Structure 1
Amino acid sequence: MLDRLDKEFAFGREALDVRAYRQELLSSNIANADTPGYKARDVEFSSALAGALKQNGTASNASTLKMAQPVSLSTSASLAVTSQRHMSGTATSGTSGGSTDDYGKLAYRVPNQPSLDGNTVDLDAERVQFADNALHFEAGMTVLSSQIKSMLSAITSNS
């Protein structure tokens, strides 16, 4: 039963993962607008999503996609204690979850107007791409949210 639900939401999850990754790239481009020699990077959403959904040559088996795995966080540090009542312990720090390898290759933007310092960030174009991507991310969240609400409504309806 849960496998069917997981497969139902796999496309929306992957689309949101790719949009979030693209948002990171675009914000990095904007942050480095004044960095000499910085090359603006981006990923084409449609090809990145297709690559993320590809599993053994087909996109139908989406339940074992790498990026759809839950992310967990663990920390590593030994704590210094100055009192016997302090908590002692060690934990490890690291994240697990999907890899961005399936997003496809990053592409460098071809600048409309190259700068003398080698920076290829066009701040106006990056801001437009950032806003467009954010709008599509919100739309994807709305669609996924409505799917969840309709399933909850079907589960809880008294018929």
Structure 2
Amino acid sequence: MAINFDKALGVHQYSLGIRAQRAEVLSSNIANADTPHYKAQDLDFNAAMKAATSHQKGISMAHTNEKHFDLAALSREHIQYRVPNQPDTGDGNTVDMQQEQSAFMQNTLEYQMSLGFLEGKFTGMRKALTGQ
């Protein structure tokens, strides 16, 4: 009997990839905090998650199996510019370091939670396969 990993792993496999993409966006914001005219961005996690779990058509398949899809392409379309909370400082940069660091830490904790959930799923499957 074949194992269906989509059913076995649930949404955690998708959330891990999307959280990794969000970490890249947030770290880019932090790295460009002093860059004039840089506009802070963020990834809409809920929209990216909905798109990843619904298997929408129109996603470019560049993988070996028709059931595989590109998480990076899904999340790139959900990156949006952040509305600044602070007034313009004159250089046109919209990065608020406190907000970026807070969002990055929150995303890191949620990434680690997703890893923990996946580890639990794999541990359960390993126990089931070995008969423990």
Shift of 1:3: 5.1
Q: Which one of the candidate residues 73, 81, 85 is aligned to 1:112?
A: 85
Given that residues 8 and 121 in structure 2 are in contact (C-alpha distance below 8 angstroms), is that contact kept between their aligned partners in structure 1?
no
How many residue pairs align between the two structures?
122
Q: Return closer, same or farther for 1:108/1:26 CA change in 2, 3 Å cut-off.
A: same
Taking structure 2 as the reference length, what is the TM-score of the superposition? 0.83
Shift of 1:5: 2.6
Percent identity reads 38
Q: Tell me how large the CA RMSD over aligned residues is.
A: 1.9
Runs of 4+ in structure 1 off by over 2 angstroms are 5-11
Q: Measure the CA separation in 2 of the matches of 1:37 and 1:66.
A: 34
Shift of 1:9: 2.4
Q: Which structure features the higher share of helix residues?
A: 2
Q: Which structure features the higher share of strand residues?
A: 1
Q: Measure the CA separation in 1 of the matches of 2:46 and 2:122.
A: 24
Q: Measure the CA separation in 1 of the matches of 2:74 and 2:24.
A: 16
Other-structure match for 2:38 = 38
Q: Measure the CA separation in 1 of the matches of 2:112 and 2:81.
A: 26
Q: Return closer, same or farther for 1:56/1:33 CA change in 2, 3 Å cut-off.
A: closer
Structure 2 residue ranges without an equivalent (≥5): 58-65
* Superposition pairs of residues 1-150 of structure 1, within 5 angstroms: 1-2=1-2, 4-9=4-9, 11-56=11-56, 64-67=67-70, 98=71, 100-103=72-75, 104-113=77-86, 114-150=88-124
Q: Return closer, same or farther for 1:23/1:7 CA change in 2, 3 Å cut-off.
A: same
1:34-74 per-position Cα deviation (integer Å, ceiling 9, x unaligned): 000000010111111111222247xxxxx82413xxxxxxx
* Structure showing greater relative contact order (alpha-carbon pairs closer than 8 Å, 6 or more residues apart): 2
Q: Measure the CA separation in 2 of the matches of 1:117 and 1:144.
A: 43
Q: Return closer, same or farther for 1:118/1:48 CA change in 2, 3 Å cut-off.
A: same
- Which amino acid in the other structure matches residue 49 of structure 1? M
SS for the counterpart of 2:4 is: helix
Q: From the CA coordinates, give the structure whose radius of gyration is larger.
A: 1
Given that residues 36 and 91 in structure 2 are in contact (C-alpha distance below 8 angstroms), is that contact kept between their aligned partners in structure 1?
yes
